[in-house]
Amino acid sequence: MAKERPEQEAPSEATQPDAPKKWLFLFYLCGDNDLASYIEADFREICSVGSTDNIQVLVQIDRPDGAKRYVLADGGAATEQLVADPSLNKARVNTGDPKEAIEFFRWGMTQFPTERVAIIFSGLGIDPKYVEQRVLRQRPQLKQRIENDKDADDQQAAHRELETLVNSQLFSLCHDFTSNDALEPHELREILETLQRDGLRVDLFGLDVGGAAFIEFAYELEDLADALVAAPAVMPDDGWPYDRIIKLWDDKLRTPKPSDPLDGRQLASTVVDTVAKAYPELQSPIVAVNLSNYVLSRAARVLDTLALAPLYNLGDWHILESLNQTIKSCVRLQKRRAKDAAELCNATQCDLHRVYRETADESDDSTEPASENIEPSGLLPAVDLLQLLGQLRKSLEKQEKLAPDAFGQKERLQRLLNLTMNALNELDPALTDAEIAAVPKDSDTSAY
């Protein structure tokens, strides 16, 4: 679903606000890649609103021909203004280098101090295709081996080497084609840790990229911001509706309710709701994750217990069968998702995550094996955590009905089922209502 984009001239000169504002929005737009035209449209969208009485908006945009930094004055459109100091505008910026992001955020947060801060990255997300392209550009000899069909054994070995390299760098985003680089999760942590050491606290950390709502990211950013907002899978190239987000949050700041904390977590909820309304055809396009150590630690303890419990009961046929059926269900859904997504996403920019979730509502009673000739090319080798737990619960409930009371078999299944339910409940406060609602209907957590 395409967004309306305002057409206007680029900003010119800079001014600094007269008084500190309540919020600072720092947009780090990474457009030196295939998304250049969409990133440019996002920039124009942000400029159409500009800053407000309560929100100071700063933008650094990296284009294929270089990067520029903008301070947006109040009102947007005719009053938008460009940073006057030429030294702040660089011919080249490597968005895959965390030092570049740190420099921009540090500058913005010190020059424009506010009560609270939101940092938003926009660019290419996690995709094996872009990692593969980067690896092959870095290793021309490996590319030659892959293209050499005269030595089949070496060609296969080269493909295996490429696969290993891609998987080792899979969780990278904000790809910079000129610099042949990208940001990895540990570098995102480095960015926030560096700012924190400088006494600069971030309230909301947003990733307007495809496929970044992973627990790996949440743990990297633990306690370094109030909330992470990201997409579980592919997003339409139009990205978030920035103009609506800025306007809605400014409305909340201008007319606050006594019960509104107006903090990073409430902003995260506002972003999730706004993006969901912008893409009504997608189910749960983005989620918000509570990054507090308390919440993530509780979730980790429950998941660790759940992971260890089956290992002590693998001698129980019913538990082993439950695990096997859970794995088969997730593999079947992943391959089904890969098959269906090729047509859906090419034709309608459909969210891959929606395809994955919709198939979860189908019955898993069939023991028909998944077709092995469906290749999930271009999809992440990852499983939705709530999807996995929902499928496990369903398998355990089925086996509990079949298991006899003798030798404690039913009791063991009930214990494991309770652990699964506890895991879903513990994840609830770490995720938004939208994400919990997206769990397959037969695995709904509301009854626990």
Same domain membership, residue 307 and residue 270: no
Q: Is 344 exposed, middle or buried (0-12, 13-18, 19+ CB in 10 A)?
A: middle
Measured at the CA of 181, the angle between CA 178 and CA 185, to 5 degrees, comes to 150
Half-sphere exposure of 24 (CA within 13 A, CB side): 28
Q: Are residues 306 and 419 in the same domain?
A: yes
Domain around 194: 23-126+176-291
Do residue 269 and residue 311 come from a single domain? no
The whole-number pLDDT of residue 299 equals: 76
pLDDT score recorded for residue 353: 34
Give me the pLDDT at residue 12, please. 39
* pLDDT at 332 (0 to 100): 62
CATH for 248: 3.40.50
Give every CB contact of residue 43 below 8 A, 6+ residues apart in sequence. 29, 59, 61
Q: Are residues 385 and 408 in the same domain?
A: yes
**Residues of the chain whose pLDDT is less than 70?**
1-18, 76-90, 283-284, 331-384, 427-448
What is the tens place of the pLDDT at every residue in 192-220?
999 999 999 999 999 999 888 887 788 89
Tally Cβ neighbours within 10 Å of residue 420: 26
pTM: 0.75
- pLDDT number for residue 374: 30
**Taking Cα atoms as reference points, which of 204, 197, 269 lies closest to residue 26?**
204
pLDDT tens track for 75-119: 765 344 455 456 666 678 999 999 999 999 999 999 999 999 999
Residue 340 lies in a domain: yes
What's the pLDDT at 263? 96
Between CA 116 and CA 191 the distance in angstroms is: 17
Question: Which H or E run contains 208?
Answer: strand 204-208
Same-domain check for residues 365 and 240: no
Residues 254, 309, single domain; the answer is: no
pLDDT for 8: 41
Tell me, yes or no, whether 239 lies in a domain: yes
Distance (Å, whole) CA 168 – CA 324: 27
Domain boundary among 291, 317, 350: 291
How many domains in the chain? Answer: 3
* Angle (nearest 5°) at CA 14 between 10 and 17: 125
Instruction: Assess if residue 448 is contained within a domain.
Output: no
Q: How far apart are CA 232 and CA 29, in angstroms?
A: 20
323/391 same-domain check: yes
pLDDT at 130: 87
CA torsion through residues 173, 200, 85, 77, sign: positive
314 in the same domain as 271: no
In a shared domain, residues 365 and 430: yes
